[in-house]
Amino acid sequence: MAPRPRECRAEVTAVRSLNPDVIEVDFRMVEPPALAFAAGQWVSVPFGPKVVRAYSMASAPGAGDVLTLSVDVAPGGLGSQWIRGLKPGDVVPFKGPTGGFVMDRADARRPVFVAEEIGVVPIRSILFDLYDTGFDRPSALIQWARNPAWLLYEADFRELSRRHPGFSYLPVLREPPSAWRGEKGECHEAVDRLVHSVDRTVVYVCGGEGTIKQVRQALVAKGMDRKSVKWEKFW
């Protein structure tokens, strides 16, 4: 059972840019000293009585004393401005963990993860938690991006595939460079090509509403039950 959400505080320890529009922030827990969460969950940051923003953990649960969030700040709204202004030493109040985009490890089906750009954040948490804790069944990640700058955590996933032969990393680009030898096109098109059979398969997809619908339609057309497509909508 996933932990219940609670009021928390954490101190910013590092801020990094993953690309011009994505900022990654490390936090050290202050209260409580460690936060138990399930990989794939998120925390909510308050900006007023009825205004909150939700941010998924990019880090695996581990000991829970350090959290990493990765945020697309391109929208330029209240949350984006706040993330851009964070600096080491800032103490941030938030509530968490929340969210049901978590993998059921008792499910014997092969998991296939589909990520659209910033939607890879909770999937990174899930994958690293799985393989850090002895997961030994095959899985795959289809990561879609408009261009190479948006293949967030690509090096992490390539290293994961080297360390765990059962994990397949399949990046896809809409605008590939001339030297690109990987998959090309739109996310749902790649899913249609790369998921050869839906038998004993469960799919976890995270990204925009349009992509989620298109991916689900492609899988249902192959014979997958709609309930076997788990999703988290980021926009």
In the chain, list all ranges with CATH 2.40.30.10.
6-98
* pLDDT for 87: 98
**What's the mean pLDDT when you consider all of the chain?**
96
Is the pLDDT at 2 greater than 70? The verdict is no
Token pair 């994958």 in the structure block, residue: 127
**Strand pairing category for 201-207 and 183-184:** unpaired
Q: What pLDDT is stored for residue 56 in this prediction?
A: 97
Helix (H) or strand (E) holding 46: strand 42-48
Between strands 6-19 and 91-98, the pairing is antiparallel
Whether this prediction's pTM lies above 0.85 is answered by: yes
* Residues 71-126 pLDDT 10s: 999 999 999 999 999 999 999 999 999 999 999 999 999 999 999 999 999 999 99
**Residue 50 pLDDT:** 84
Q: Where in the sequence of the chain do the CATH 3.40.50.80 domains occur?
A: 110-233
183's CB contacts (< 8 A; 6+ apart) are: 170, 171, 172, 173, 190, 193, 194
Is the pLDDT at 150 greater than 90? The verdict is yes
Q: pLDDT digits over 158-208, tens only? A: 999 999 999 999 999 999 999 999 999 999 999 999 999 999 999 999 999
- Mean pLDDT across 151-155: 98
Q: What share of the chain is helix, strand, coil (3-state, %, to 5)?
A: 25, 35, 35
| CATH class as words, domain 110-233 | alpha beta
The superfamily in CATH containing domain 6-98 is: Translation factors (2.40.30.10)
Read off the pLDDT band of 1 (50, 70, 90): low
- Is the pLDDT assigned to residue 4 strictly greater than 90? no
The number of beta carbons lying within 10 Å of the beta carbon of residue 166 is 13
pLDDT of 48 above 90: no
Q: Single out the residue of 56, 23, 63, 12 nearest to residue 207, CA to CA.
A: 56
